[in-house]
Structure 1
Amino acid sequence: MGKSIASRFENIDIIASVLRAVIINDDELTLEMDFCLEEDHPEYETPGEGEECCFHPGLLKFAGISKLSLERAEGAASSSRRFAIQSFNIEGTKFDMACEWGTIHLQARSIRVLTE
Structure 2
Amino acid sequence: MGKSIASRFKNIDIAKSVLLSVVINDDELSLEMDFFLEPAHPDYEEPGEGEDHCFHPGMLKFAGISKLSLERAVDGAGTGRRFAIHSFNIEGTRFDMDCEWGAIHLQARSIRVLTE
TM-score, scaled relative to structure 2: 0.94
Distance 2:52 2:30 in 1: 25
Task: Compute the RMSD of aligned alpha carbons.
Answer: 1.1
Report the CA distance between 1:42 and its aligned residue. 1.2
Q: Match of 2:67, SS? A: strand
Equivalent position of 1:16 in the other structure: 16
Equivalent position of 2:46 in the other structure: 46
Equivalent position of 2:102 in the other structure: 102
Query: Alignment length, in residue pairs?
Result: 115
The one-letter code of the counterpart of 2:83 is F
Distance 1:17 1:52 in 2: 13
Distance 1:2 1:98 in 2: 27
Identity %: 80
Equivalent position of 1:3 in the other structure: 3
Equivalent position of 1:33 in the other structure: 33
Distance 2:78 2:35 in 1: 21
Q: Match of 2:6, SS? A: helix
Distance 2:63 2:22 in 1: 14
Report the CA distance between 1:65 and its aligned residue. 0.8
The one-letter code of the counterpart of 1:84 is A
Distance 1:5 1:15 in 2: 16
Report the CA distance between 1:77 and its aligned residue. 4.8
Q: Match of 2:98, SS? A: strand
Deviates more, 1:48-57 or 1:99-108: 48-57
Equivalent position of 1:61 in the other structure: 61
Report the CA distance between 1:48 and its aligned residue. 1.6
Report the CA distance between 1:5 and its aligned residue. 1.1
